[in-house]
Amino acid sequence: MSAPTALEQAPPVQRRRVTQRRTLVAVLLVLSLAVAARMWLVAPVLVASDSMAPTLEEGSLALVLKPDPGAHRVSAGTTVVFPHPEDGSTTIKRVIATGGQTVELRDALLFVDGQEVPEPFVDHSRIDGTWFGPAVVPPGHVFLMGDNRGASVDSRHFGTIPAEELEATVLWPWR
């Protein structure tokens, strides 16, 4: 049998205080990590419009990864968060094309660099007759559109966005 530790030899009241202090330190550490993760890593974002329906419905929450996506290369198909160029509001759209690519909508069908892009998340019957472009995306910029093309104010209206202005990428929609 081993000798009792100093804590085991201490009176019950002192042992309780030590245990309470350890518990408090552990709780504070967990809360600090949660706050840090919320501030710098992941966060929920409320979807404020129906421009990304049916992928993200108005009023739903999206979990976003906050490290600056502009610092690494985003690719077409990635859903991103950025400040709207007109009012600075938090906006969510899909990256359609990146610097140097050509974007075009022909009767609601998306073409990038002359090739049709399959978009199973877009209801083409609701946007039949929509035409845009062709437009070339400047280097270092992205062309963004909502999945609900008929209700989306996007790069067709406000132009391309510098990639460094992207604030986060959507990890998971919550419905």
Domain annotation covers residue 54: yes
Q: Are residues 141 and 108 in the same domain?
A: yes
pLDDT confidence tier of residue 139, bands split at 50, 70 and 90: very high
Q: 149 and 103 in contact (C-beta within 8 Å)?
A: no
In degrees, rounded to 5, the angle at the alpha carbon of residue 20 between the alpha carbons of residues 19 and 26 is 90
Better-scored residue on pLDDT, 15 or 111 = 111
Q: Token pair of 155, please?
A: 């790069």
In a domain, 1, yes or no: no
How many domains does the chain contain in total? 2
pTM of the model: 0.72
Same domain, 162 and 109: yes
DSSP assignment of 124-164 equals GGGSTT--EEEEEPPTTEEEEE-SSGGG---HHHH--EEGG
Mean pLDDT of 18-23: 66
146 and 81 within one domain: yes
Residue 117 falls inside a structural domain: yes
Mean pLDDT (whole number) for 110-125: 89
Same domain as 97, residue 51: yes
When pLDDT is cut at 50, 70 and 90, the band that residue 175 belongs to is very low
Q: Do residues 87 and 147 share a domain?
A: yes
The CATH code of the domain that includes 96 is 2.10.109.10
Who wins on pLDDT, 111 or 37? 111
Is residue 112 domain-shared with residue 64, that is, in the same domain? yes
Does 91 share its domain with 126?
yes
Average pLDDT over residues 104-131: 87
Query: What pLDDT, in 10s, does the model give residues 41-94?
Result: 577 777 888 888 888 878 888 778 876 555 557 888 888 989 998 888 888 899
Q: Which amino acid makes up residue 1?
A: M
- Assess if residue 57 is contained within a domain: yes
Active site residues: 51, 93
Same domain, 82 and 145: yes
Nearest alpha carbon to residue 42 among 150, 146, 171:
171
Residues 69 and 30 in one domain: no
Q: Which domain holds residue 68?
A: 42-174
Q: What value does the mean pLDDT take over residues 159-173?
A: 85
| 77-109 b/e (C-beta count within 10 Å ≥ 16 → b) | ebbbbbeeeeeeeebbbbbbbbbeeebbbeebb
Q: Are residues 36 and 102 in the same domain?
A: no
Decide which of 157 and 123 is more confident.
157
Read off the pLDDT band of 16 (50, 70, 90). low
Q: Are residues 118 and 57 in the same domain?
A: yes
Residue 166 C-alpha from the chain's centroid: 9
Give the chain's mean pLDDT.
79
